[in-house]
Amino acid sequence: MITRNSISSAFGLTVLLVAGIMPAQASGPAPDPKQARFEVRFMEDFSVHHVTIIERSKICVQKATHPELKNLCQMVINAQTGQVNFMVTALKDWYGITWDPYSQLTTGERNQIDQLASETASDFEVDYMEFAIRHHYRGLIMASQCIEDAYHEELKTNVCEPAVQSQAREIEQLRTWLCQWYSKCNYGPKGQGL
């Protein structure tokens, strides 16, 4: 359950991340080429993955009818924007790669975001929550792999570990709301049922 304290804590951490107080600290790439390839691929893929939910969450803040969902969407925007900024900076600092994850969204992803924006409020909430559950589940898998395979501790502590923790909580919260508000119970990462 999301409480005022968890919202305040998440907001405080997000402010630090967005403000750049927790920048990438290592001075170069992972010494093992396999780990270096993993980190580059992970940060490129995960930053784009985050952008897809950030863009949907921006719509959610405007369109959702339940204040609790609006608050969660703002938390997603704050946390994942901070993580995207960290990864973009780390790609540049550690690997010399200039990366813009927003420019990597496909036409299909942009069309899906536009379609979501045109839905009625109740359809929007259901579609947003179902998408976010599936999205966060994929994020959990990606971030868990990062915890295991990344070289830079800063990547693990500023992106991967927080992503696992927050997305697991958010999945459970979204599943609860889908059931309470729309009688769509037991919604899992692959659709209806677990």
Helix ranges restricted to H, the chain: 4-19, 33-63, 67-95, 107-117, 121-149, 153-155, 161-182
Point out the least confidently predicted range of 16-20, 60-64, 91-95, 120-124. Answer: 16-20
Task: Tell me the pLDDT tens digit for each residue of 176-190.
Answer: 999 999 999 988 876
Q: How far apart are CA 168 and CA 104, in angstroms?
A: 26
> In order of start, what are the domains of the chain with their CATH numbers?
37-192 (1.20.1260.10)
pLDDT in tens, 123-155: 999 999 999 999 999 999 999 999 999 999 999
